[in-house]
Chain A
Amino acid sequence: AQKITQTQPGMFVQEKEAVTLDCTYDTSDPSYGLFWYKQPSSGEMIFLIYQGSYDQQNATEGRYSLNFQKARKSANLVISASQLGDSAMYFCAMRENTGNQFYFGTGTSLTVIP
């Protein structure tokens, strides 16, 4: 079974609008961390936001927030007030406390339309 599932291969959003990128995960470990990375066309991987399984509140980092629904095993990334520079590939990832591996989803390509 896939550890991380991103079901949206591509998304479009109007500039200044908010957009939600979906991510579901699969783990039986009660302690885990969820991460979102951004990959612009230049190729580098940029860390955006982190959510721990025991965190009581949803994580926020500037215009990025994480809609964490533990019972549904989902960790959707919300980008508010989209900017043209947000056009990129976005990856959801997970690390389980019991393991040393880092699992990535297949990514969502976001295009911000002027």
Chain B
Amino acid sequence: EAQVTQNPRYLITVTGKKLTVTCSQNMNHEYMSWYRQDPGLGLRQIYYSMNVEVTDKGDVPEGYKVSRKEKRNFPLILESPSPNQTSLYFCASRPGRDLVKNIQYFGAGTRLSVL
């Protein structure tokens, strides 16, 4: 089954404790992306990657890191989480061919609470 898998689904942590949210897709998609969703703000893009070793900032990259060492994986790293990073996070992927109609497929989401 074609899917984007995020782990963990729920995470409660404390300020300053490094964490990683994993994302994996099995569709051989070139493009992967991370979003955060906050009430009243919709989804905002954190980082995206056009292919292996190619990443770029989205609208809200501060406090986050990403890496793309393999095509299927795109982990999101919070080196020193703060309470304002409490949010619902989504990973997404789509084919990298430059067609506007390429649909993005989303993972199930990771709900993060930073105390």
Using a CB–CB distance below 8 Å, which chain A residues touch chain B? Answer: 4, 6, 9, 31-33, 35, 37, 43-45, 47, 50, 52-53, 91, 93, 95-97, 100-107
Known contacts A43-B88, A101-B48, then 20 further A-B pairs from the complex at CB < 8 Å, ordered by chain A residue = A31-B100, A35-B104, A43-B111, A45-B106, A47-B105, A50-B103, A52-B101, A53-B100, A91-B42, A91-B43, A95-B100, A95-B102, A100-B50, A100-B56, A101-B58, A102-B92, A104-B44, A105-B42, A106-B41, A107-B42
The total of interchain contacts (Cβ-Cβ below 8 angstroms) comes to 60
Any A CB within 8 A of the CB of B74: no
Q: Which residue of A lies closest to B56 (CB)?
A: A100
Q: Which residue of B lies closest to A105 (CB)?
A: B42
Contacts of B101 in A (CB 8 A): 33, 50, 52
Contacts of A32 in B (CB 8 A): 100
Is B106 a contact of A102 with CB atoms below 8 Å? no
Contacts of B106 in A (CB 8 A): 37, 44-45
Query: How many angstroms between the C-alpha atoms of A38 and B52 in the bound complex?
Result: 30
Query: How many angstroms between the C-alpha atoms of A52 and B100 in the bound complex?
Result: 7
Contacts of A43 in B (CB 8 A): 88, 108-109, 111
**Given the contacts A43-B108, A102-B33, A97 and B100 also touching, CB distance less than 8 Å:** yes
Using a CB–CB distance below 8 Å, which chain B residues touch chain A? Answer: 31, 33, 35, 40-45, 48, 50, 56, 58-59, 88, 90, 92, 98, 100-106, 108-109, 111
Q: How far is the CB of A2 from chain B (nearest CB, A)?
A: 10
Q: How far is the CB of A59 from chain B (nearest CB, A)?
A: 10
Closest 3 CB pairs of A and B: A33-B100, A45-B106, A104-B43
Contacts of A103 in B (CB 8 A): 45
Contacts of A37 in B (CB 8 A): 106
**Given the contacts A105-B42, A106-B40, A47 and B31 also touching, CB distance less than 8 Å:** no
Q: Which residue of A lies closest to B41 (CB)?
A: A106
Q: How far is the CB of B34 from chain A (nearest CB, A)?
A: 11
Is A102 a contact of B40 with CB atoms below 8 Å? no
Query: How many angstroms between the C-alpha atoms of A59 and B31 in the bound complex?
Result: 25
Contacts of B105 in A (CB 8 A): 47
Contacts of A6 in B (CB 8 A): 42
